[in-house]
């Protein structure tokens, strides 16, 4: 698997398939090949010091 591959899990509770999408799909919508659910691929957030941060909001 390439280094720029993004692994995401299908949010459909009856599917939950792990998808490997190319890094250039960040911020775009992809379709699960297993169930057909549309999934938004998270974008990459980069802080000022160059470290990647999670796109999930802090609780």
Q: Could you tell me if residue 36 is inside a domain?
A: yes
Residue 24: give the domain boundaries. Answer: 5-43
**Three-state SS for 25?**
helix
Nearest alpha-carbon partner for 43 in 34, 33, 54: 54
- Residues 7-26: tens digit of each pLDDT: 999 999 999 999 999 999 99
Residue 5: half-sphere exposure toward Cβ, Cα within 13 Å: 8
Q: Could you tell me if residue 27 is inside a domain?
A: yes
Q: Could you tell me if residue 23 is inside a domain?
A: yes
Q: What confidence tier does 2 reach under pLDDT thresholds 50, 70, 90?
A: low
Total domains in the fold of the chain: 1
Q: How far is CA 27 from the centre of its chain?
A: 8
């Amino acid at each position: 698997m390439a280094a720029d591959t993004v692994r995401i899990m299908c949010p459909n509770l009856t599917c939950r398939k792990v998808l490997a999408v190319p890094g250039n799909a960040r911020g775009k919508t992809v379709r699960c090949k297993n169930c057909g659910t549309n999934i938004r691929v998270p974008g990459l957030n980069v802080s000022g010091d160059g470290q990647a941060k999670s796109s999930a909001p802090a609780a």
